[in-house]
Every structure is written in structure tokens, then in C-alpha cells.
Homo-oligomer: A and B are copies of this chain.
Amino acid sequence: MKFDPEILKKLSINNKRLIARIISTVESESDLAIQILKELYINTGTAYRIGITGPPGAGKSTLTNQLTKHLLALDKSVAIIAVDPTSPFSGGALLGDRVRMNDIGMLDKVYIRSVATRGSLGGLSKKTIDIADVLDAAGFDYIIFETVGVGQSELDIAKIADTTVVTLVPESGDSIQAMKAGLMEIADVFVLNKCDRPEADKAYSSLQATLHLRNFSVEVWQPPVLKTKALLNEGIVELVDNIEKHRKFCYENSSCNKKRKKYFKERIINIVELLVKKEISDGSSKLINDSLNNVVSGNLSPYKLAEEVLLNYKSSNK
């Protein structure tokens, strides 16, 4: 496929076939992918990115569906990226998608995409971020990242989301303890889902108490705790309201900006690494192959060979 920048002009939320094609190209990490991502970046920045995370069984998919319906009712368009750390042992993502497809997937202003993060650099795939940029450039108002499995993605999602919603269930009264720093720090909004359960009040108080131990400051966003029953569609309006509150807060306070700068710095370095990797695979393949037997036999340290490769790479650019 030769790249014609004109094609990006046709990218819109209504052109799902083109969206799918561009995403597939972008996923390939080819030179073309890099070219496309460079070109379309100028059209990004309008989509608001929401992350939905939390332990398995907390109702993340249901919450995502209800949230999407509410946003649609407000005449917004929504893209959902289901991030699957791909346990080879679970078919969670596929099943989840199928259920969802019947519900909202066929609607005009909705686009759903699963991303398997297996084998990628970092828990949350670089691909996820690139795909979000494609959907952003296409013009979606909201992009929802939903983590499907368990793992690193749960925490990484906070890096790329403007608002991170952490979903918990009441029975995790003690599991709240267990979650400790990790989730407490990334949440912009807590959702206590399945609040028809008897332990709901206790879990709510316990969560509030934990949050009150944190540092208070008007310049730092204080994450609210919302009670929802996603299956019954209760509490979703409040969720949308609180997401918007957080959005407004970040618009007015620079404290949120720090997180974004840090994220972009990481992203840029990751891209540089990708570019170097590509160039090395092309240019230093012979050098590596020639010395590989020495490494496999334990006679040459991979670290020493890596240094040689790097020197070779640098000198080839002189």
C-alpha cells in the first residue's frame, strides 16, 4: 500500500471501513505506519479519553456500555478500545466484544476495537496509543479504554486517559486494602459498582476513609466515590457528570498537565527506540548473526555484543 496523504482527509467517524484499514496499517509498525501517524497527529487532540479499569468481575464492560449509551444520548460519538493483556487462557475479550456488538456495536456513532497487548513493549501496547490517535483524528468525541484482563494494563491506562475511572465491587471490602497505592493513585473517579449488594455501605465508608488519608489540596483533584448499579443503569448520569467535572478541573489546573507531559516524554523515547530497532534490524543484522553463536555458547556476553552493535550503528551514521 502506497501512502497517499489525501486519504487521511477522508477519515471520519462515518467511514468505518477506512478507520479499520488505517488501524490495521498502523498496527503493523511499518514505515508506512509511522508516516501515517506523523501526518494525522495534527488532527488529534479533540477526543476526550476515558479509562475504565479495575479488578475482573467489577463490571467494567457493563459500565462501559452504559456510559457509551449515555454519551450517545448527549449526541456524542464514542470509540471503545478494549485492551486485552491476552492471557492465552481466557477468551474474555472475544466474548465481551460479541456481547457488546449486539448491544451497541452496530450503532452509527460507535466504533469498537480490541487490542491484544501480547508481545508488545510495555503492559499497555504502544499500538493502543496509536489506535487512539487514529480514532481521535477520525473525530470521535470520546475514546473509552477498557481493560479486559488483569495485569499491567490496569495501571498503564491512567497514563493515556484524561480521566481514569477505577471500578470496584462492594465485596472487595478487604481487597480495597490489598489494592494499596497502585489503584488509589491512578483513580480520578471511583465507581463502587453492584451497589445492591449488602456490603455496599461498608465498602463505601471504607473507601472514603482510605481516601481521606490522602493529602488534601485545592490544586489536586480529589477523586469522588460514586455508587452505581451498572446493570440497572443506575448512577451513570452521576458518572458522566463527574467525568466532566474532572475534565473541567484539568482544563483549569496545571496539575493534570504534569502527568500528560510525563506520558508524552515516555512515548517519544519509546518511538525513538522503535526507530533505532528498525534501523538496527536492517543495518546490524550481519554483525549480530556473525557473533550470535558465541553468545549462545556463553563465550560472549549479550551486553558486550549489544555495545558493539550500538557502536556499529553510530559509526554507520557518520
Q: Which residues of A does B touch, CB under 8 Å?
A: 34, 37-39, 41-42, 44-45, 55-56, 85-91, 117-119, 121-123, 149-152, 154-155, 175, 178-180, 182-183, 257, 260-261, 264-265, 267-269, 271-277, 280-281, 288-289, 292-293, 295-307, 309-310, 313-314, 317-318
Contact = CB atoms under 8 A, between A and B. Distances in A.
Nearest to A86: B152
B38 A296 contact: no
Nearest to A55: B89
A144 B119 CA distance: 22
Taken together, the copies of this chain in the complex come to 2
Contacts of A86: 151-152
Contacts of A123: 118-119
Contacts of A151: 85-87, 149-152
A41 B305 CA distance: 12
B292 A264 contact: yes
Given A44-B298, A149-B150, A150-B89, A272 B118 contact: no
Contacts of A90: 150, 178
A271 to B, nearest CB: 4
Given A86-B152, A89-B154, A150-B87, A295 B38 contact: no
